[in-house]
Each structure stands twice: as C-alpha cells, then as structure tokens.
Structure 1
Amino acid sequence: MLQDSIINVKGIGEKFADDLQSLNISTIEDLLFYFPSRYDVVEILPLSELIHEDKVTIEGRVLNTPSLSFFGRKKSRLTFNVEVENVAIKAVMFNRAFAKKQLNMGDTVTLTGKWDAHRLQITVSNYQKGSLERSSDIQPIYSVRGDVTSYRLKKAIQQAIHDYGNEIEEILPRDLLASYKIPSRNKAVKTMHFPKSRQALKHARRRFTYEEFLLFQLKIQILRKRRREATAGNEQVYDDIKLNQFIDQFPFKLTNAQSKSLNQILSDMKSPYRMNRLLQGDVGSGKTAVAAIALYASITAKKQGALMVPTEILAEQHFQSLQDMFGDLVRVELLTGSVKGKKRREILQDLADDRVNILVGTHALIQDDVIFKDLGLVVVDEQHRFGVEQRRALSNKGLYPDVLFMTATPIPRTLAITAFGDMDVSVIDEMPAGRKEIETYWTKANTFDRVLRFIEKHIADGEQAYIICPLIEESDKLDIQDAVDLYNQLIEYYPPAIRVGLMHGRLHASEKDEVMKQFAANEVQVLVSTTVVEVGVNVPNATIMVIYDAERFGLSQLHQLRGRVGRGDKQSYCILIADPKSETGKERMRIMTETNNGFELSEQDLKLRGPGDFFGTKQSGLPEFKVADMIHDYRALETARDDASEIIEFNLLETDSTYRNLRNLLEKEGVFDTVLD
C-alpha cells in the first residue's frame, strides 16, 4: 500500500501529484519520509531580550481594530497595535487582507516575525489567535519548490499519516530498539513531522540517524563480503625469515604505528581473500618503508609487485628509493610514458617472463601490453587519484592481486568509515624519532619583504624555498596574489645568482617535470607554484614553504603543502601569509600554527568546512543522509558500523527472523544485485 501513488491520498489531485514529483515524491512512502529540512523552535522571550532584526515570537492583546490599506495589484498592508508587558507594539502584515476579519480588539494573538527594536514594531510572517499551544512550539520547515507550498505539503503529510501511518513496518529488531531506547518506526515518522516536544523530536531523529547509518554500513559490508568471497584462493605464502632479515637491515627501527600497520597488511596477504586496504599516514611517517616490506613479502611468496603513482617524477623518485632499499635482493624496473622503444620492449618481455620483481610506474602500468607473469600485490600511492576504472583494468587482465592504497591526506576517522567503508583502514599516526617539527608562522602581506629576506638568508646557506599562490594569472574578481605576477616580481627582486622557477597546472607534464628536476637538483632555488606541487617530489634541501593568501586553502591542503618541506635534517619553516576576514579563516590560521598533527588538523578541517568540501567538489562517493550528520553523529556512525559487522559476521539477515524486514528492505534497494568491479 505504501508503494501506491500519492494520488490515493485524500486531497491530492493530479495537478498537485505532478507538482510533488518535482520533490521526488511519487509514492505514499515518499511522502511519509519527506522529512522537514529544519525546525523553528518558537519561544516567547521578554521584550528586553529580543534582538533587533531577529525573528521573534511575541504574545499580546489586540488594542485596536486593524487598519487595511491597498497598494498595487493584490498588495495590501494590515496594521494594528498589540499590548505586550504594558507596552504598545505595532504589528504590520503584508498581503493578509483576510486577517482583518479574523482579528478583533481585545483578542489574544501570538505573532512571529522580524523585530525592529528602534520602532517597537514586528513585521509578521506568521500569526495565530490565542496563546501558544505547547504542541505548536516546534514548527517543521520543509524544503519546497514550484507550486508546492509548505502549507499544502504539511496538510498532505498529515492526511497520509492519518490514513497510512500504521502501515509503516518496523525494520529494526526489537532487541535493538530496546537496547538503544529508540521509538518505533511509525511513531518516529509522526514525530519527525509533528513533534510534541523537543525530547520526542530528539529521540525520533536519533532513531533515523541510527537507521540511516546502519543501512549504509550494511550495504558497504555486504559488498565487501561479496568482494572478498569473489577472490578466494588469493593467499600469499611469504617467507618470514627472509622478511625479518630485510626489516633488520633498515637503518632505523620501525615505529609502533608502522609495525601495527605492517602486521595488518601481512595478515591480509596471508588470508585467502583479496586485500583492499587503505594505508593512511602523514607526510614523512614512513608509509613507503611499510609498502616496500609488503612488496618484498609478495616476492618471497614467488609473486610480482607493482607500485603505481600519479606522476612521472614521483615514479622516478619511488623507483630510486626502492632500488636503494633492495639493492641486489630484487629487480626493480621503472615504466612511464617516457620509457620507449627497445628499453620498453625489454622491460615488458622480462616482466612477462617473471624476471622483473617489482614494476614502478604511472598509469602506464595498466596499459594492454603490460603483462605480469603473476602479480601478487599492487601498491597505489595517493589513492584518491586512482579510480575504479583503473582498478577494473587490472581485474580485466585476469589479475586479482592484493591492493594497498596509500594516502598522505589524513582522513578523519568518520570520513574513513564512510567514504572508504568497503576498505580496511590502517593508520600510521606517529612520526619517526628525531624528526624535527616544522615551525609554522602566520603573518600579513605587509611583511612580505621580511619574508623574502628570510628566504635569501637561508638560500645563502644552501637551502631552497617554495612560494605557493592560489591562482595562475591575475583575476579581476579576486584580490589575491597570482603565480605569474609573483614570479615576475621575484626575478626583479633577487640577484641573478638566485634562480626563480615557475610551476602551474597549465604547463605540459614534461615542462612540470623539467621544472621539478631543476628544483630537485638545486638549479632553481625559489620555486613559485600553484598547488600542483602538493603531491610532489622529495626535495630534502627545501626548508621554507611560503603560502600566499593562505586563508583561501583548507587546513588539510595547507598541511599537505607544509609537508613538502621538513624532508631533510635541517630545521624547516612554513610561513602563512593571510589576512582572513572571517572568524573561521582566523581559526584556521591559528590551528595551523599550533599543531603539526595531520589527523588532528583533518578533524578540525571537517568541523570547519563540512564533509562535502573535504575531498573537493568532485568527490561524489559520500552518501547524502536525510537526517544523519557524519560529523555531529559520529558516535552513532561507529555504533552502526559495529552492529553491521556483527549482523554480517553472524549472518543474522539470513538466520534470524527478527531481521527479515531489514533484509527485505535491502533486497528492495537492490543491494544483493550490485555488480562487483
């Protein structure tokens, strides 16, 4: 019945039904679950506490017969005085001519509207005769468009609840309802639309927050279970003795966080299921060392490894560092777009014949002519740049290797659970011993001369600097420093001995690589760049990061940029040049100067910016919840995740009859029909 058309609801004709389609309401169920976007809590405060130009509610006695005047076509103005706390308040209503007949001298009225403290006047948006009833002190506000008005929508929902409310089936088992003290589904729906108290609304919202998170987590974990089962027989039997010998020859001891992450990865590789793990760690936390050990484990299991990175220069850097780590133990080769002709043919032949152990490269690794003999592990650096299509390309070659994604973008726990729910997540949240913290300072643009002199002094000691700008070329709309203009200024400012380089997104890939190679070789001492340098090469000699118009960047991006320095043993500095006008902007600068911990910053960034902005506008993997909020309701998210794990682990959807309705809902949404990539 709830799947029937809304035309069956009394009072909804064909025209109104068509209008409701614009809100994606076509069935009775859609109407019942079209929750308010927010609530206005009506509270009558004393006149002395009313704030000028705020929306307020007052209650008083009508002192005179309302006066009505017309202006323009169908436009009217109704005015009258009400007595509140022995003070005469002027009430003004626009386009409510009908109210003249309803309001009489001596009536008690409750008025809501914009308060003018100077004139003692209220411009009324809502009114009712009599005192405020307790049941009406929380006003639901619906998101509407076109010809659909809040009033008509509310009336339709009221009718639907009256006629069909009892048909809303409970989908949660009784033990969960009792355990979390949450109301039944049909009672919670009624409360969401017509709350009797703040407490009742709080519990109804709590119920739907948990329900939304649980359904989402179940979908993810069902998908994850099916993925695992689809790749059974993926076990890698590696050589423990050789692996420990390799780890012992490192010039440093692994941190506790590195060891924990490594054990999780090795356990996945040893299991019969395909690994799908995300390794998070701040810049410099030692992710590459962990990845190298995992790659070596795969080689001792008689398999091959691959390391895929987003840019050629990063591929070259990883190739060099893996060669340094492995020496003669394994054969590492580099495959990028620049490797052509005979050299490329030789590498591909040796790869197919199992004479290459590890192949490092860009997306060139997944081209059709790249054929591995037996690929055991793929490590993908900066995983957010590597999409589902590339992952599918590996599977299409008949390869189902274990996959380890790495990112230096510290993702808040709540987002990791949500956006990467189908992955296991390992976190390296401590830095190697003895590493110097980057000193971070915030200054205004009028001190830029001092900043340039500071850079010059450090260049004289053989060091280098980055200067980051948000724009490539000057914009009329934004008063912010641009990279080209700044580059030209610095060429004039510094003597010829100090070479200034320029890098931005409009340069061709080969031009970018050339600039970065010159910077890495210290042929360029100051690199002016846009944020394309964010995921870049390791230049231990670069000790200063200056970020112009820093208020235009999010905390996570600022932290990523800061991570480009501090790679060597010299003290490094990050200088933020910013003049933020908003409190949020000032708070962002303050947080940056106070902490170097990427995970702490990412949590703060999430609070300041919201999840939609965290990955940038192109990130579409985040679900949209009607009621739940990932940031404020993170405890409910974690609870739902744990409950979903238990439901899947013990197969309760199949074996426990109290979960039948939950399974039916998931089936209806096609969860069990999803095509695996």
Structure 2
Amino acid sequence: MKNRLDLPISEVKGIGEKLQAHLNELGLFSINDLLFYFPFRYDSYEVKPLTELAHEEKATIEGQLTSDPVVQFYGKKKSRLTMTLQVEQFAVKAVMFNRAFAKKQLSAGDTVTITGKWDQHRLQITVSNYKKGAAEDQEPIQPVYTLKESITLVTLRKVIKEALEEYLEDVREILPQDKVLSYKLPERRQAVEQMHYPKTRTMLKHSKRRFIYEEFLLFQLKMQLLRKLQRELTTGNAQNYHNDRLTEFVQSLPFELTGAQKRALSEILKDMKNPYRMNRLLQGDVGSGKTAVAAIALYASITTGRQAALMVPTEILAEQHADSLKEMFGERIRIVLLTGSVKGKRRKEILQDIKEHKADLIIGTHALIQDEVDFQQLGFVIVDEQHRFGVNQRRTLRDKGLHPDVLFMTATPIPRTLAITAFGDMDVSVIDEMPAGRKPVETYWVKGQLTEKVLAFIQKQIRLGHQAYVICPLIEESDQLDIQNAIDLYNQLAQVFEPDIIVGLMHGRLTNEEKEEVMQSFAANRVQVLVSTTVVEVGVNVPNATVMVIHDAERFGLSQLHQLRGRVGRGSEQSYCILLADPKGDVGKERMRIMTETTDGFELSEQDLKLRGPGDFFGRKQSGLPEFKVGDMVHDYRALETARQDAAQIISEGLLETSEEYRMLKQMIEKDEHISGKVLD
C-alpha cells in the first residue's frame, strides 16, 4: 500500500499552485517533507512571575489596564502609545511604537497579554506583540521556521498545522521497540507533533532527544553499510608481507618508535593482512612521526612484490618526502618522483619505469592520478593531508589499482567526535604522543602590532643562524577588515631588515611555480624571513625555522593557529610562536589563552569545536561533514557515540535483514540513493 506521506504537498488543504512553488523553494515537495520540516527555534509565550524575569529578556506578562492608553504623535506617521498595567502587586509601564490604532481596541479594566523586551530597572516592557484577553487562550510555545521571502511565517504555520491534522496518523514508528524503551524516547508520531506544537518545554526536549538519536542512528547505519559493502567488494586483498625484512628495516631506523606509533602501525599492518581493502585515517599532530609509520607500512606492501604510492598536495612536499624516504630506505627499494614539473624525456622514462614495475614507490602530487600513469600492481596508497584533496581525486587513485589498501593521513587533529562522523566509513588510528627529545614550541600572546621588541627578537634568532615566518590573514587591503596585509608587511620588513636579512613573500595569488620557488629559497636559507598568508600551512619542513609570528591571530581558529605553529619546532633548537592579537570578544581572548597554555593538538581541537562548532572546523563547507536537522555533533556527541555503537551492533548481527522490528529502519535506508541495493540484498 502506498504511503500517504509520499503524496505531493498539493494534497494538503489550502496549498494551491503558487504556494506549492514557494514551498518547493524551501525543499518541501511531499507531505513527509512538510511534517519533518522542524522549527529552528520557538517563541515562548509562557507567563512567568515578574521576579523571575531577567533584564532585557523577551518576556510575556499578563495584567489589567489601570487606565486608558495614551498616544503621542511625533514626526510623520510616528507614534508612541503608553499604558499602565497592574501585574501581581506591581504597576508596569508598557510602551508600543507606531501602533496608535491599539488605543481604540484597549481600555481601562481590560485584561491584556503582552510580549516584549523587559526592562527590570524601570519595570517597563517594550511591546512586540499584544493580545486582548488572558494568556491561557493562546499556545504558550510557538514554532519559528526558516523562511524564504516568498512565504510568511503565518502561512507556513497554517499549512503545517493542516498537514498535521490530516496526516499525523500516517507517521510510523521506525525505531525498534527495545531502543524506544531503553532510552525512554517518545514514540515517533507524538514526537513529530510536539516538535511543531510542544505543550511544554519538557515534552519538546524529549522529542528533540528522540530525533537527534534517530538522525544519528540512520546516518551511522548508512556509514557502516557503506563500509561493509566496500569490504565485501574487495575480498582476496590480503598482503602477507615479509616479516623478517620489515623487522630489519624498523631496526635500521635511527630512532625508537613511540608507543603511539607502534599502536598505529600494528592497526595498519593488521588491516593489510586481512582480506578486505583497508580504508583507514591516520591522524597525528605535527611532528608526531606519521611519516615513519607511513614508511614502514609502504615497505610492508613492497615486500609482497607490489607497488606503493604516496600522494601529497604540493610539489615541494613531494620532493621533501622523496628526499627523506630515500635516506630511510637506502638501496632497499626504487623510488621515483612524479610531479607536474617533471616533463619531456624524463617524464616518459618515469612513466615507463612505473608501467614495467622498475619503480617500487611512486611519490607525487595529483599528477599520480592522471590517465597516463599506469601502475603495474598497486598494493598500497597513502594520501597525505587528505582533506586537501577532493573526494573524486581520492577515488580515481583508489580505482587505478587492484583495490589497493588506502591510508589517509592528516596533521589536523580531528576530535574523535568529528572523526567518527565525518569519516564514519573509515577506521581511525591516532598518534597522540610526541617523540622523545622534541621541545614544545614556546607560545606568547602580544597585544597589538609588530613592536620593536618583536622585531629585535626576530633579528636575534636570525643572527643565531635561524629563520622566521611572519603570517598575516589577507593579501590585499580590504575595506571591511582593517588587516595588516602581506604585501604591506613585506615592504615594511624589507625596509627594516634588508640588505643584511633577506625577506621573501608568499601568497595565494602567486602561481604554483612561483610559490615553489619562494619555498625552495626559504628551505635553502637564501631567504631568512618569509612573509606569507596561510598557504604555508601544510606540511613544508624547514627545520632551521624557529620563529613563527602570526598577525591578527584572533582571526584564525585554534586548529589553524596550531597548524601554523607546527611549521616551527621541527629541528633540535628551541622554537617560538608569537601571536599578535587584540581580540575584542571573550571567545578571541579565550582562544589566545588556550594557545599559550597547551601544545596538544587534540586538546586544542576539542576546545576549538566548543568555541566554533563543527561547520567551521575544516574551514570550508565541502568538508564532507553531514548536516543534521536536529542533532549537533558537538553538543550531542554522547548521542552520536551511542548511535554509532548501536549501528555497529545492528550491522554485525544482521538485524536489518532478519528482524521484523528493523524493517522500517531498513526501508528508510533503502530510500537513500547513495546506498547501493547490494548492501541490503
């Protein structure tokens, strides 16, 4: 039988062609869409005692007029109406602007309910809404929906109310009874009604709680099913690496692996041995030793006779990886570097070597995923700073080989809450321990701009043979933002430092070749002070740089500040990060305080989430984070964890296929076009 909730919204009484088109603009096409279009906030008309009202809050009061309202006119069409109400034992003054007509509607002795801004000191309310009569005659909590200009709140409330009256009985429970009972959730039909027209704040709270869990559970089930599908498509992918050769390589390294590195490595090696394709995220703070773990994993795959690839976002990073890995591996394997700047005869030779398996490890930028690159037998792929690559670029690389194991690496410490959500179809390994002997970067917050003291400090460090970064947020002067821009700053510093100290400039408007050239000069110490926008953020390794000065630091999030700070402190010398900031608000001040007190990226990322919310965390909307209607990944992280555990259990026990109680959940998931039918067959 066809579900009535799938009918078009035109079936709802009062929705004609024109209104239907306006509702379509809001993404509302079916009756189901309308019923599940929840308010983003609620106006409360609950009458509280005057003693409980906070100064300047939006409040509703009920009282009796002690005299007729008085109107004063001033200017063209401007008026001010004042009246006095007896509320409890108090005389309260009510002021209404530009609604002189109310004088005809109200008179002494009337009971009136008024909503407006409460002034506690003057016992006065500035009226936004008023109604003749007592408060209990109206709904205490009113829904407020997201709107477009073409539709009013009154109209939307009316059609949703109409839809609720006609179709609410068609809403079916989709959660299994044991979950509803054990989490004390209201049943679905009642929760839908309460989300739109809650009788009390408590009922609203429980209805929200129900939909937060439902949303997270559906999302996590989809993620786990995708993961199951990916695994089942890639059986026969076990890599039985050569244990003795691997042990010999690990023992040849000039350092001892930390406990966290060993743990991450064993998780990766275990994945490689199982018959499914690996899909793992390795996250670790700047300098935590991800590259060493990556090198060992790459080598493990190469000992099975397969090829391996390492893809990074920039050419200079590819070159640095190639240099450090050649040093690590010595003569054990054959490494080639393939980037956009390798051209002509040399490029042909490299492509031929890859095709004929004369190269074991191929390191490069996205040049690796172009059609001309023909791998012989690609067994293992590492994508570094994976959030810098588009999903399609990652998929192309993955699909070039025979379902290679894939390891994504990132130095952006992502809080566990976000990692399990944004990357729910991946396993996550974390390196949360720094190698021995690594000195934490000393961080200082300096109010204002570049002072003589800071300049003198930079000069002192350069005289000791070190180098410095100076970072600022924008390239050119912006009218809206009074920000020290990179070009001005470069000119200023060149005047102060040159000719003894050479200053370089880097920003996003330079071509890739120009950026590479600037970074090469800095890496080779031909440039001692590099003025840059945040393009310097990811990956580049200049162990000689010991000073990081960040201009207008309050304009950056904690995670970005931490990433920038991670550009220094890569050698054995003590390094410093100086935050130049004059934050106006509490959040900005809090951010500076946290930065000076902690160097733990994971702790910072948790704090950043609390201060900024998940949408901004990756700095871009296409971060791959799902958008939830009711749930908030940060605020409701406990529900997210619970939903993830429940989803894992449901999938592992095969309940979607075998249990009648889970039939509705299965149907909901099947509606999602991203989940292939194969998963649920």
Q: TM > 0.5 between the two?
A: yes
One-letter amino acid matched to 1:493 = V
SS at match of 1:580: coil
Query: 1:247-286 alignment to 2 at 5 Å?
Result: 247-286=250-289
Q: Which residue number corresponds to residue 636 of structure 1?
A: 639
One-letter amino acid matched to 1:648 = I
Query: 1:503-652 alignment to 2 at 5 Å?
Result: 503-652=506-655
**Does 2:472 match 1:450?**
no
Q: Which residue number corresponds to residue 236 of structure 2?
A: 233
One-letter amino acid matched to 2:12 = V
One-letter amino acid matched to 1:263 = S
One-letter amino acid matched to 2:148 = R
> What is the CA–CA distance in structure 1 between the aligned matches of 2:673 and 2:551, rounded to whole Å?
49
**Could you give the per-residue CA deviations for residues 399-437 of structure 1, whole angstroms, max 9, x where no partner exists?**
421111111111121211121112111111111112111
Q: 1:391 to 1:15 in 2, by over 3 A?
A: closer
> What is the CA–CA distance in structure 1 between the aligned matches of 2:137 and 2:426, rounded to whole Å?
48
**Could you give the per-residue CA deviations for residues 514-536 of structure 1, whole angstroms, max 9, x where no partner exists?**
22222112221111111111114
**Aligned with residue 444 of structure 2, among 435, 438, 441:** 441
Q: 1:418 to 1:256 in 2, by over 3 A?
A: same
User: What is the deviation of 1:46?
Assistant: 5.2
Query: 1:1-16 alignment to 2 at 5 Å?
Result: 1-16=4-19
Q: Tell whether the 8 Å contact from 1:6 to 1:12 is kept in structure 2 after alignment.
A: yes
> What is the CA–CA distance in structure 2 between the aligned matches of 1:405 and 1:198, rounded to whole Å?
44
> What is the CA–CA distance in structure 2 between the aligned matches of 1:447 and 1:507, rounded to whole Å?
25
Q: Which residue number corresponds to residue 304 of structure 1?
A: 307
**Does 2:384 match 1:381?**
yes
**Aligned with residue 224 of structure 1, among 221, 224, 227:** 227
User: What is the deviation of 1:66?
Assistant: 4.3
Q: Tell whether the 8 Å contact from 1:19 to 1:146 is kept in structure 2 after alignment.
A: no
Q: Which residue number corresponds to residue 323 of structure 1?
A: 326
> What is the CA–CA distance in structure 2 between the aligned matches of 1:42 and 1:169, rounded to whole Å?
31
Query: 1:58-77 alignment to 2 at 5 Å?
Result: 58-66=61-69
**Could you give the per-residue CA deviations for residues 173-228 of structure 1, whole angstroms, max 9, x where no partner exists?**
10111111101100111111121222211111010000011111111222222122
> What is the CA–CA distance in structure 2 between the aligned matches of 1:134 and 1:584, rounded to whole Å?
42
**Could you give the per-residue CA deviations for residues 344-397 of structure 1, whole angstroms, max 9, x where no partner exists?**
222222222222111111112122222221111011111012222223333553
Unaligned runs of 5+ in 2: none
With 562-571 and 118-127 compared, the bigger mean Cα shift is at 118-127
User: What is the deviation of 1:102?
Assistant: 5.7
**Aligned with residue 486 of structure 1, among 481, 486, 489:** 489
User: What is the deviation of 1:74?
Assistant: 9.9
With 549-558 and 667-676 compared, the bigger mean Cα shift is at 667-676
Q: 1:502 to 1:152 in 2, by over 3 A?
A: closer
Q: 1:119 to 1:22 in 2, by over 3 A?
A: farther
**Aligned with residue 671 of structure 2, among 663, 668, 671:** 668
> What is the CA–CA distance in structure 2 between the aligned matches of 1:537 and 1:444, rounded to whole Å?
28
**Does 2:192 match 1:189?**
yes
One-letter amino acid matched to 2:619 = G
One-letter amino acid matched to 1:353 = E
CA RMSD of aligned residues (A): 2.5
With 180-189 and 94-103 compared, the bigger mean Cα shift is at 94-103
> What is the CA–CA distance in structure 2 between the aligned matches of 1:145 and 1:459, rounded to whole Å?
57
Q: Which residue number corresponds to residue 25 of structure 1?
A: 28
Q: Tell whether the 8 Å contact from 1:466 to 1:546 is kept in structure 2 after alignment.
A: yes
> What is the CA–CA distance in structure 2 between the aligned matches of 1:671 and 1:382, rounded to whole Å?
26
With 401-410 and 95-104 compared, the bigger mean Cα shift is at 95-104
Structure 1 length normalisation: TM-score?
A: 0.94
**Aligned with residue 43 of structure 2, among 40, 44, 50:** 40
**Does 2:659 match 1:659?**
no
One-letter amino acid matched to 1:374 = Q
User: What is the deviation of 1:72?
Assistant: 11
Q: 1:319 to 1:454 in 2, by over 3 A?
A: same
> What is the CA–CA distance in structure 1 between the aligned matches of 2:342 and 2:28, rounded to whole Å?
56
**Could you give the per-residue CA deviations for residues 104-124 of structure 1, whole angstroms, max 9, x where no partner exists?**
532332211123567654332
> What is the CA–CA distance in structure 2 between the aligned matches of 1:318 and 1:312, rounded to whole Å?
10
**Aligned with residue 212 of structure 1, among 212, 215, 236:** 215
> What is the CA–CA distance in structure 2 between the aligned matches of 1:92 and 1:630, rounded to whole Å?
42
> What is the CA–CA distance in structure 1 between the aligned matches of 2:156 and 2:18, rounded to whole Å?
13
Q: 1:29 to 1:446 in 2, by over 3 A?
A: closer
SS at match of 1:440: strand
> What is the CA–CA distance in structure 1 between the aligned matches of 2:270 and 2:375, rounded to whole Å?
24
Q: Which residue number corresponds to residue 354 of structure 2?
A: 351
With 630-639 and 59-68 compared, the bigger mean Cα shift is at 59-68
> What is the CA–CA distance in structure 1 between the aligned matches of 2:653 and 2:322, rounded to whole Å?
44
Q: Which residue number corresponds to residue 168 of structure 1?
A: 171
> What is the CA–CA distance in structure 2 between the aligned matches of 1:525 and 1:183, rounded to whole Å?
64
**Could you give the per-residue CA deviations for residues 69-115 of structure 1, whole angstroms, max 9, x where no partner exists?**
89999998765321124443333446767766764532332211123
Q: Tell whether the 8 Å contact from 1:135 to 1:196 is kept in structure 2 after alignment.
A: no
Q: 1:148 to 1:343 in 2, by over 3 A?
A: closer
Q: Tell whether the 8 Å contact from 2:398 to 2:406 is kept in structure 1 after alignment.
A: no
User: What is the deviation of 1:52?
Assistant: 5.3
SS at match of 1:2: helix
SS at match of 1:663: helix
Q: Tell whether the 8 Å contact from 1:66 to 1:104 is kept in structure 2 after alignment.
A: yes
Q: 1:256 to 1:620 in 2, by over 3 A?
A: closer
Q: 1:135 to 1:178 in 2, by over 3 A?
A: farther
Q: Tell whether the 8 Å contact from 1:109 to 1:128 is kept in structure 2 after alignment.
A: yes
With 651-660 and 64-73 compared, the bigger mean Cα shift is at 64-73
Q: Tell whether the 8 Å contact from 2:449 to 2:580 is kept in structure 1 after alignment.
A: no
SS at match of 2:6: coil
Q: Which residue number corresponds to residue 406 of structure 2?
A: 403
Q: 1:52 to 1:293 in 2, by over 3 A?
A: same
% identical equivalent positions: 67
Q: Tell whether the 8 Å contact from 2:558 to 2:605 is kept in structure 1 after alignment.
A: yes
SS at match of 2:241: coil
User: What is the deviation of 1:21?
Assistant: 2.8
Unaligned runs of 5+ in 1: none
User: What is the deviation of 1:633?
Assistant: 0.2
Q: 1:281 to 1:486 in 2, by over 3 A?
A: same
